[in-house]
Amino acid sequence: MGPMVTMGILNGHPGPRNLMKHVVDYIVSGRTTCITDIPVDQLGRLDAVSAIQEISDSVDCNQMIEKYGDLLEACGFRKVLSVESRQDAVSAMKSYYMFNRCIPSLPQFVEGIKFHGMLDMLRKCPEKAYSYLMQTEHVDSLTIKGFFKPVFSSDKAEEEDEEVILCNFHQFLKKLERAKMSCISIDAETGSSSEVNLNTGHFLQALIGCPALPSCITEGIITFDHKSDYLTTVNTCAPSINFSKLSVIKNYSSFEELMKNIIVGSYGFRREYMLIQQLYMFRAPAEAGKVLLWKGPFRGHGVVC
What residue segments make up the domains of the chain, in order of their start?
2-133, 141-304
Q: What is the pLDDT of residue 136?
A: 67
Q: Is the pTM higher than 0.85? A: no
Mean pLDDT of the chain: 79
Query: Quick one: what percent of the chain has pLDDT higher than 70?
Result: 81
Average pLDDT rounded to a whole number, residues 38-65:
79
Average pLDDT rounded to a whole number, residues 42-60:
80
Q: How many residues does the chain have?
A: 305
Please tell me the number of Cα atoms within 13 Å of 2 on its side-chain side: 17
Asked if residue 56 has pLDDT above 80, the reply is yes
pLDDT tens, residue by residue, 181-233: 887 776 666 677 777 888 888 888 888 887 878 777 889 999 999 998 888 99
Distance CA 8, CA 282 (A): 9
Asked if residue 293 has pLDDT above 90, the reply is no
Q: In a 10 Å sphere around its CB, with 0-12 CB exposed, 13-18 middle and 19+ buried, how is residue 126 labelled?
A: middle
All residues at 6 or more sequence positions from 144 whose CB lies less than 8 Å from its CB, including other chains: 173, 200, 203, 204, 213
Average pLDDT rounded to a whole number, residues 51-66:
84
Asked if residue 105 has pLDDT above 50, the reply is yes
pLDDT tens, residue by residue, 131-184: 888 776 678 899 999 999 999 999 999 999 999 999 999 999 999 998 888 877
β-bridge mates for residue 224, sequence order: 243
Type of residue numbered 122 = L
β-bridge mates for residue 183, sequence order: 196
Asked if residue 264 has pLDDT above 60, the reply is yes
Average pLDDT rounded to a whole number, residues 86-102:
82
Asked if residue 290 has pLDDT above 70, the reply is no
Contact 178, 240 (CB under 8 A): no
Distance CA 162, CA 179 (A): 26
Q: Which of 33-37, 95-99, 300-304 has the lowest mean pLDDT?
A: 300-304
Per-position DSSP letters for 48-115, written without gaps between them = HHHHHHHHHH-S-HHHHHHHHHHHHHHTT--SPP-TTTHHHHHHHHHHHHHTGGGTTHHHHHHHHTTG
Asked if residue 117 has pLDDT above 70, the reply is yes
Average pLDDT rounded to a whole number, residues 74-82:
85
